[in-house]
Amino acid sequence: MAARRSVVAASTSRAFSTSRPARQILGEGDQALFDKHVVKGKRITVVDFHADWCPPCKMLDPILQKVLTEEIEGENEVDYMKINTDNENELAAKYKVSALPTVVAFKHGKELSRFVGLVNEDACKNFVANAKDH
Catalytic residue positions, numbered: 54, 57
E strand or H helix at 88: none
CA distances from residue 24 to 5, 27, 118 in whole angstroms, order as listed: 42, 9, 23
Give the separation between CA 126 and CA 13, rounded to whole angstroms: 47
Written in H, E and C, the secondary structure of 112-130 is EEEEECCCCHHHHHHHHHH
Cis amide prior to 101 (ω within 30 degrees): yes
Give the separation between CA 20 and CA 34, rounded to whole angstroms: 18
